[in-house]
Amino acid sequence: MGRGRAKAKQTKVARDLKYRTPDTDFNNLQRELHGESGEPIPQQYVDMEREDPAAS
């Protein structure tokens, strides 16, 4: 017993996620995916980009 309230909350959240239209900034997303954020890449990750795991 007592599951009714929890189930109602889960249903409400699921319905909100399914039908809500998010305010997505697609221009910002595109800049982020293309690496144009203006922030420098930390050196440890730059080194990782240079290594080619398929070559080993």
- Mean pLDDT split into 10-residue runs, the chain, 56 residues: 86 91 84 73 73 59
pLDDT of residue 12: 94
pLDDT of residue 14: 93
pTM: 0.36
pLDDT of residue 38: 65
Q: How far is CA 25 from CA 16, 41, 54, in A?
A: 19, 23, 35
Run of H or E residues at 46: helix 43-50
pLDDT of residue 36: 63
pLDDT of residue 7: 93
Rounded Cα gap, residues 21 and 30, in angstroms: 19
Q: Are 31 and 37 in contact (CB under 8 A)?
A: yes
